[in-house]
Amino acid sequence: MTTVIDVEGVSKQFKIHHGRHQSLKERLLHPKSGSTEVFHALRDINFKVDTNETVGLLGHNGSGKSTLLKCICGVLQPTSGAIRLRGSLAALLELGAGFQTELSGRDNVYLYGAMLGFSKKMVDGIFDDVVDFSEIEQFIDTQVKFYSSGMYVRLAFAVAVNVDPDILVVDEVLAVGDERFQAKCIDRIQTFQNEGRSILLVTHNADQVRSICDRAIVLENGRMIADGPTHESLRIFREHLMDSATEHDHSGVLANISIDSITTPSGSFDVRSGAGMHFDVNITTQTAYSGNFVMEIFTRGGLLVSRSDAKGSPVNLTPGPNRIGIDLPQIPLLDGVYDVNVGVVDPHGNTVVAWKEQAASIQVTYDGRESGLVEMGASIRQQ
């Protein structure tokens, strides 16, 4: 293990100008007009990323995650602290930002490669792979201005992932292209992981972090509030999501609902595969609320096994303690530990009003011979 990214005491402040003038005349006429406010985008961030690690950087909009990423990529300079990098870095910040639309796809591959810091010789070596990956062979000599937005992004992504970086930094760009191309991108990222490279993935999509990352860092208001195994960090992320939602909730609904505990009649969370299970969820509210109840089951690896219908389970919470029962008639899961998340959402199934991440962990034991995630009970015979 070698440290490839070392972020040490990094802070970044922005000066926000209110009504500042940008032309010479206005500045001369109103030398002191407008006020300047200092905004702390990052405060004393410390962490390290080693080779072989895939780290997720989670945070809401405005939490400072993109600023931190830009500092790591060298686009921004931190106000204080230092970031040290080892090995080559390719950043997928905004795909195609370096493209010159007047030039052909071929010229842009070389230009973009040079921009990412790779020599012409290296780009020569990977050119065919880039074209292959981007699937635009027949348009490679067409001016980029005639490309569709999908082609544009595919070409940029293809360059960035084919230049053989030691560190790959990805900023919410996996939402590009059609589903098939997205799958291809995820696939490529997993190949990167298997090759022992380091990946820093920035997103506010918890599911993506769960499925790709070994470790996650959570930022909030420029501060690092968690750095640990993915499921631990995600729990903190979700809790803070609720906390900050509560702060901004003027009707006061959110503050009033709390999920206290989840219990089973026997007190045990062990279950045999194929058997049923019953949970009781204890919720306390101050005021009455009608919404829907949701339950999620995840593997420890972060794969979503099941999420209940967010619109189909109405609950009417009355002031005081409430008890919600969940019946799982038959659990077809195979051996393993599964995490249960529960929550209450609004009547339309859109907004989460109460949530408990990892409310319970169930241990499933299975003595059959199937392997994988669920028992299908397939019967196979020759006809």
Those residues with Cβ within 8 angstroms of residue 338's Cβ, 6 or more apart along the chain or in another chain: 297, 298, 299, 300, 305, 361, 362, 364
Task: Please check whether residue 219 is in contact with residue 71, taking contact to mean a CB–CB distance below 8 angstroms.
Answer: no
Token pair in block for residue 108: 């842009």
User: Which residue number, 119 or 287, has a Cβ lying nearer to another protein?
Assistant: 119
Token pair in block for residue 381: 């015979």
Tokens 């000066």 belong to 15
Q: How far is the CB of 70 from another protein (least distance, A)?
A: 8
Q: Is 52 in the site for another protein (CB under 8 A)?
A: yes
The rounded distance, in Å, linking the Cα atoms of 137 and 135 is 6
Of 45, 302, 331, 340, the residue at the interface with another protein (CB under 8 A) is 302
The rounded distance, in Å, linking the Cα atoms of 20 and 35 is 7
In the stretch 184-223, what mask flags binding to another protein with x, by CB under 8 A? ------x--xxxxx-------------xxxx---------
| Window contacting another protein (CB under 8 A); options: 23-31, 274-282, 327-335, 347-355 | 23-31
Binders of another protein among 61-80, rule CB under 8 A?
70-80
User: Which residue number, 154 or 240, has a Cβ lying nearer to another protein?
Assistant: 154
User: Which residue number, 195 or 280, has a Cβ lying nearer to another protein?
Assistant: 195
Of 47, 81, 223, 334, the residue at the interface with another protein (CB under 8 A) is 81
Three-class DSSP category at 220: strand
The rounded distance, in Å, linking the Cα atoms of 205 and 376 is 30
The alpha carbon of residue 305 and the mean position of all alpha carbons in its chain are separated, in whole angstroms, by: 18
Q: Is 166 in the site for another protein (CB under 8 A)?
A: yes
Q: How far is the CB of 82 from another protein (least distance, A)?
A: 4
Q: Is 17 in the site for another protein (CB under 8 A)?
A: yes
Q: Is 253 in the site for another protein (CB under 8 A)?
A: no
Binders of another protein among 310-349, rule CB under 8 A?
none
User: Which residue number, 77 or 138, has a Cβ lying nearer to another protein?
Assistant: 77
Of 18, 19, 22, 247, the residue at the interface with another protein (CB under 8 A) is 22
Burial 258-276 (b: 16+ CB within 10 A, else e): ebeebebeeeebebebeee
Q: Is 238 in the site for another protein (CB under 8 A)?
A: no
Cα dihedral across residues 256, 290, 288, 295: positive or negative: negative
The rounded distance, in Å, linking the Cα atoms of 125 and 186 is 23
| Window contacting another protein (CB under 8 A); options: 93-101, 289-297, 326-334, 348-356 | 93-101
Token pair in block for residue 362: 């169930």
Alpha helices in the chain (DSSP H): 24-29, 65-73, 105-115, 120-134, 149-162, 179-194, 206-212, 230-247, 253-256
User: Which residue number, 23 or 61, has a Cβ lying nearer to another protein?
Assistant: 23
Q: How far is the CB of 353 from another protein (least distance, A)?
A: 31
| Window contacting another protein (CB under 8 A); options: 11-19, 128-136, 258-266, 307-315 | 11-19
Q: Angle at CA 270, nearest 5°, toward 266 and 272?
A: 110
Tokens 């999501």 belong to 241
| Window contacting another protein (CB under 8 A); options: 108-116, 147-155, 266-274, 290-298 | 108-116
Token pair in block for residue 231: 């499921």
Q: Is 23 in the site for another protein (CB under 8 A)?
A: yes
Which residue from 61, 305, 318 is spatially nearest to 207, judged by alpha carbons? 305
User: Which residue number, 120 or 348, has a Cβ lying nearer to another protein?
Assistant: 120
β-strands 89-92, 270-272 pairing: unpaired
Q: How far is the CB of 49 from another protein (least distance, A)?
A: 12
User: Which residue number, 208 or 256, has a Cβ lying nearer to another protein?
Assistant: 208
User: Which residue number, 6 or 129, has a Cβ lying nearer to another protein?
Assistant: 6
Q: Is 2 in the site for another protein (CB under 8 A)?
A: yes
Task: Please check whether residue 192 is in contact with residue 169, taking contact to mean a CB–CB distance below 8 angstroms.
Answer: no
Which residues would be at the binding site for another protein (CB under 8 A)?
2, 4, 6, 14-17, 22-25, 27, 51-52, 54, 70-87, 91, 93-94, 97-98, 100, 102-103, 107, 110-111, 114-117, 119-120, 143, 166, 190, 193-197, 211-214, 300-303
